[in-house]
Amino acid sequence: MDEKKILIIDDDVDITRSFQAALKDHYDVDTANDTTSGMAKLKSWKPDLLILDVMMETTLEGHRFAHNLRKEVEFADMPVLVITGMSDAIGVNIREAFTDSEELQNLYFLDKPVDPEELLTRVKKII
């Protein structure tokens, strides 16, 4: 059986590395530390799941990224696991921001800090 592919986008290398390590025994995992290279990898590699940090450097860069992603036909239905939990720091409710855009389909949320075991369990449920 082919291994399913997961792409992790987060600007924090420690986070992407540890997430990768937590998942790599079960999935084919690649990482990107900024949205530009993330988008390039998405297009060329076509992962089955995207794990996305929504609040890169305290802007809503991840949110914007997910927004643009949904506009593209090939990624319109791709499952996205959104890593949140920093929202409280700037007073933005991420889930609400996403709900407003009516794109909740195939969108999952996980709060930082994320335990690797918990991450694996969650990913198994999604794909």
Binding footprint of another protein on the chain (CB under 8 A): 11-15, 17-19, 21-22, 33-34, 57-58, 85-86, 88-91, 112-117
Q: How far apart are CA 98 and CA 119, in angstroms?
A: 21
- Give whichever of 12 and 28 is closer to another protein, judged by the CB atom: 12
Q: Where are the beta strands (DSSP E) in 2-121?
A: 5-9, 28-32, 49-53, 80-84, 107-111
What is the closest distance, in whole angstroms, from the C-beta atom of residue 80 to another protein in the complex? 19
**Cβ distance to another protein smaller for residue 58 or 99:** 58
Q: In the bound complex, what is the minimum distance in angstroms from residue 66's beta carbon to another protein?
A: 20
Q: Among residues 11 and 28, whose Cβ is nearest to another protein?
A: 11
Taking a C-beta distance cutoff of 8 angstroms, is the pair 38, 69 a contact?
Answer: no
Sequence-ordered list of residues with C-beta below 8 angstroms from that of 10, at least 6 positions apart, any chain: 16, 19, 31, 33, 51, 52, 53, 56, 83
Distance of closest approach, residue 116 Cβ to another protein, in angstroms: 4
Least Å distance, CB 67 to another protein, is: 22
Answer yes or no: are the C-beta atoms of 27 and 5 closer than 8 Å.
yes
- Could you tell me the sign of the dihedral formed by the alpha carbons of 11, 104, 101, 39, in that order? positive
Residue 3 or 88 having the CB closest to another protein: 88
